[in-house]
Chains A and B, each alone.
Chain A
Amino acid sequence: MFESVLVANRGEIARRIQRTVQRMGLRSVTVYSEADAELPFVTEADDAVLLGPAPPAQSYRNIDAVLEAARRSSVDAVHPGYGFLAEDPTFARRVVEAGLVWIGPPADAIEQMGDKIRARNLVAAAGVPVSRGTESPVADVAAALVAGREIGFPVMVKASAGGGGMGMAVAADEPALEAEYERVRAFAQRTFGDPAVLLERFFPRVRHVEVQVLGLPDGRVVALGERDCSVQRRNQKLVEETPSPAVGAQLRAQMFRAAVDAAAAVGYRGAGTVECLLDTQSGQFVFLEMNTRLQVEHPITEMVTGLDLVEQQLLVAAGEAVSFDPDRVIPHGHAIEMRVNAEDPRRFFPGPGAIAVWEEPSGPGIRVDAGYRAGNVVTPHYDSLMAKLVVHGADRAEALERARGALAGFRVEGPRCNLPFFTELLDHAEFVSGDYDTGLVARMRG
């Protein structure tokens, strides 16, 4: 095992990785921007190196600055966390070229999964179910109609350059497709400077279910459980739970098989997540994409399996055996994660600010991964995630009850905060029943 790790990230995930690094007796070095100097991940590090000003391009996304920090602090390995440089194959290659251990999958695997259309074709060839859709931009209305008939209605009309739910429209039939094609195209041209439009099958009631995989040093890939991430606003996750209330033993086995095959198709090593869409009506699932890194919501898998996924990442990167028997992973109970964001609980608009009050709940089955504490300032430079509240119970009912209790003990004052949304969600009949889909939050907000 190497002796020191540079964590090339910030906030809650840098702190969470650092905790494992230090528990394993290794030296943990962090990098930080001028905006983050007071945050816990910096003050708790064994060593901290200033990268530069707040904008990510000048700090956390600046490959040269991160590598220089690694050289100056004489670390052996680099952990990228999630976001920033975590899925940049150039960064992975440069880390290795600098003679350091890269705590992540091979750069080629990152690259292959990073191109969404290429990834879909690649996993389809490996026998993984994929959704029907165009593989390149649709040239004109006539081509859109041909593609629409082939895919089957309803279809999603999507700006190729879009994201975050913008530049997307659903067409139920051919006249709607003609109208939406022109509308989305005009919007995409105006907004993104790129009129390219893609079509894909639209599922009206869908759940987002993903599978945690781990590629072992010997080339085997194992599935460590699924996570249901269907509570979303603006196509971004707010709450995740495991096991998924919608997945039975047979479907779980199929999804695990598909996830392992998808990862194996690119020679995957380390921790990764295969994201799928599950059609609640047919029970069919399709591959969405693979995230070639540690996932934000990994703690719920840790709560039910008892594994430390960051520890496994370090062991795999060092070429050592993992700490558990891959053939005997038996999950226990139910876990739920709530993303505590600096945003209002009604419309989910972000609102940074100085934290006047920060009180975390504690107790059996409660874990808080926080990036901030009282006195810190949540700045507008980075995403709005302040903390993850994770609860575990013997079953879903107990997990929900513990979540209610934990929420009552969580107080944040200063920035906007979405904690009241979770209180509302935990008493919402549809969520409590477990029979919900990605449209839940929109329905709650009418």
Chain B
Amino acid sequence: MAQEIRAEMVANVWKVVVTEGDTVADGDTLVILESMKMEIPVVTEVSGTVSALHVAEGDVVQEGDVIAVIG
């Protein structure tokens, strides 16, 4: 089942660690956000394939935005 990974705060996308098609495991970092001088890794809590990646480095995400879909 596809799982959407969403941003939990307004932030800049500092690093994108995965690419579409990558296989990821529970606990892997997908992207790293930056806000208020803090780098916050966004990790997946499910294992699977990155079926969609909606952000690029330098993007600004709002709270609730979908960052990636793990299918």
Listed in ascending order, the chain A residues whose CB lies under 8 Å from chain B are 163-164, 166, 187, 190-191, 234, 236, 342-343, 347, 349-352, 380-384
A contact patch SS: loop
Please indicate which of the listed interface residues B9, B29, B36 has the most CB atoms of chain A within 10 Å of its own CB: B36
Known: A164-B39, A187-B29, A384-B38. A349 touches B9 (CB 8 A): yes
Cβ contacts A to B, 26 pairs, < 8 Å: A164-B38, A166-B29, A166-B32, A166-B41, A187-B29, A191-B17, A191-B32, A234-B38, A342-B36, A343-B36, A349-B35, A349-B40, A350-B11, A350-B35, A350-B36, A350-B40, A351-B10, A352-B10, A352-B35, A352-B36, A380-B10, A380-B35, A383-B36, A383-B37, A384-B36, A384-B38
* 10 more A-B residue pairs beyond the given contacts A166-B29, A349-B8, A380-B11, with a C-beta to C-beta distance below 8 A: A166-B32, A166-B41, A236-B38, A343-B36, A350-B11, A351-B9, A380-B10, A381-B36, A384-B36, A384-B37
Q: Report the Cα distance A342→B9, complex, angstroms.
A: 12
How many B residues have CB within 8 A of the partner chain?
15
| Top 3 A-B residue pairs of the complex, sorted by shortest distance between their CB atoms | A350-B36, A384-B36, A383-B37
B15 touches A (CB below 8 Å):
yes
Q: Report the Cα distance A350→B35, complex, angstroms.
A: 7
Residues of A with C-beta under 8 A to B36: 342-343, 350, 352, 380-384
Q: Report the Cα distance A382→B35, complex, angstroms.
A: 8
Residues of A with C-beta under 8 A to B32: 166, 191
Taking the closest CB of chain B, its distance from the CB of A378, in whole angstroms, is 8
Which residue of the partner chain B has the closest CB to A378? B36
Listed in ascending order, the chain B residues whose CB lies under 8 Å from chain A are 8-11, 15, 17, 29, 32, 35-41
Taking the closest CB of chain B, its distance from the CB of A9, in whole angstroms, is 14
Taking the closest CB of chain A, its distance from the CB of B15, in whole angstroms, is 5
Q: Report the Cα distance A187→B17, complex, angstroms.
A: 8
Q: Report the Cα distance A127→B38, complex, angstroms.
A: 35
Q: Are A190 and B17 in contact (CB under 8 A)?
A: yes
Q: Report the Cα distance A347→B37, complex, angstroms.
A: 16
Taking the closest CB of chain B, its distance from the CB of A170, in whole angstroms, is 14
Residues of B with C-beta under 8 A to A187: 17, 29
Residue from B9, B17, B29, B41 within 8 A of A350 (CB atoms): B9
Residues of A with C-beta under 8 A to B40: 349-350
Known: A351-B9, A351-B10. A383 touches B41 (CB 8 A): no
Q: Are B39 and A163 in contact (CB under 8 A)?
A: yes
